[in-house]
Structure 1
Amino acid sequence: MSDQPQHSTDDAGVPAGAAVQADKLQAYMLGHYMGALSGIRLFDEARRTWSGTPYEGQFAAFVEDIQNDIEHLEAMLDRLGATRRQVVRTLGTVTGVASRLNPLSRIRERAGIAAHGELEMLQSLVVAKRSMWVTLLELAPAEPRLDAEELRKLEADAADQYDRLRTIARRTARDRFLARA
């Protein structure tokens, strides 16, 4: 017999009586919303870095992917009851910060190590986004306004985005770091 207290759960494994704290969930999602808004700008800067290469179109596709993510986040926030005022206030915060910070405004040289660092940073943003979808998926059984199927698709899309970014980094790394004989 276990010394651990036994807690009852429903069919989805949610502890009996557990409820998602809407204010915390909305704040969490608004933080990721801010990240997505910044991500659009950062991926568009990367598209300009890779302009004229086979990768330009891939970065344009990443921008479209993030715009799609933003639409999904906005719809989820609407379903959770986040007010437009909260979203607009978040947008104002992002715009203010973004106007002062530009972490990728270094020399836009795709062959340099800064470009490789940019690719790694973009990969980390996609990992963070994927983690959010996984977290929301974990909460979906306790929050009926979160659509588990939608979240599974978004998580799979983020995994694919990471793989595509990793492929670009892998294919271009040798040109950056290996000396020519």
Structure 2
Amino acid sequence: MSDAGTAWKPEHASLSAYLDDHLLAAESGVRLFGAARRTWEGSEYEQTFADLEKEISDERDELQQLILVLGYRRSKFKKAVSMVGAAAGRLGPINPMSTGGGTSGQFELESLQAIVRAKECLWRTLLALAAHDHRFNVPRLKDMLEMAGRQQDTVARVMTETAPARFLTGISV
């Protein structure tokens, strides 16, 4: 705890590592939403996942830009992990988002919601820091928080609308 008169200063090493962790996760998120788009190709949800993939990609780019604006650098190790993950995602024979049906399809949609929820936590954290650190754009963080909520609602809608086809007989999506 702190006295009301205590000035807060950013702990740069911690904040830099935190943002870098989220950037690494965002890069994975873009790949997973891309895989979801491919899974739902040809269905009524194809455009939904294409739009989500684009939004997630744009947010990842914005986070990367924020890291640079704040004067932080990416961890070389995390950057390498990201590159390996991207290559594995392109070359690997197993696409974790490939089914869309059954219990794995349900789990995949729940995982996408968890990814967006983690991103929502990032924006909430940065909003809390913005009260003490003028480098953050509060209106933009609020926009990002609102977008994360809409994205969660969108994935939840797909999950809810398609769950009967996964778990009940005689129903197809």
Corresponding residue SS for 1:145: coil
Kept after mapping to 2: 8 A contact 1:76/1:145:
no
Corresponding residue SS for 1:142: coil
Which structure has the larger Rg over C-alpha atoms?
A: 1
2:134 to 126, 139, 144: 144
Q: 1:27 to 1:67 in 2, by over 3 A?
A: same
Q: 1:100 offset after TM fit, Å?
A: 4.9
Note the residue ranges of structure 2 that are not aligned, 5 or more in a row: none
Bigger drift between 68-77 and 50-59 goes to 68-77
Q: Which residue of 1 aligns with 2:3?
A: 7
Q: Which residue of 2 aligns with 1:12?
A: none
Q: Which residue of 1 aligns with 2:167?
A: 177
Kept after mapping to 2: 8 A contact 1:43/1:122:
yes
Q: 1:93 offset after TM fit, Å?
A: 1.6
Report whether the alignment pairs 1:91 with 2:79.
yes
Q: Which residue of 2 aligns with 1:19?
A: 9
Q: 1:18 offset after TM fit, Å?
A: 1.5
Q: 1:88 offset after TM fit, Å?
A: 6.0
TM-score, with length taken from structure 2: 0.88
Q: Which residue of 2 aligns with 1:115?
A: 105
**Identity among equivalent pairs (%):** 30
Q: Which residue of 1 aligns with 2:70?
A: 80
The runs of at least 4 aligned residues of structure 1 exceeding 4 Å deviation read: 98-102
Bigger drift between 86-95 and 118-127 goes to 86-95
Q: What is the aligned-residue RMSD (CA, Å)?
A: 2.2
TM-score, with length taken from structure 1: 0.84
May I ask how many residue pairs the two structures share in their alignment? 168
Alpha-carbon distance between aligned partners in 2 of 1:134 and 1:165, rounded to the nearest angstrom: 20
Note the residue ranges of structure 1 that are not aligned, 5 or more in a row: 10-15
Q: 1:97 offset after TM fit, Å?
A: 3.8
Q: What whole-Å deviation, never above 9, does each CA across 1:109-133 have from its counterpart, x for those lacking one?
A: 3222211110000000000000010
Corresponding residue SS for 1:53: coil
Corresponding residue SS for 2:32: helix
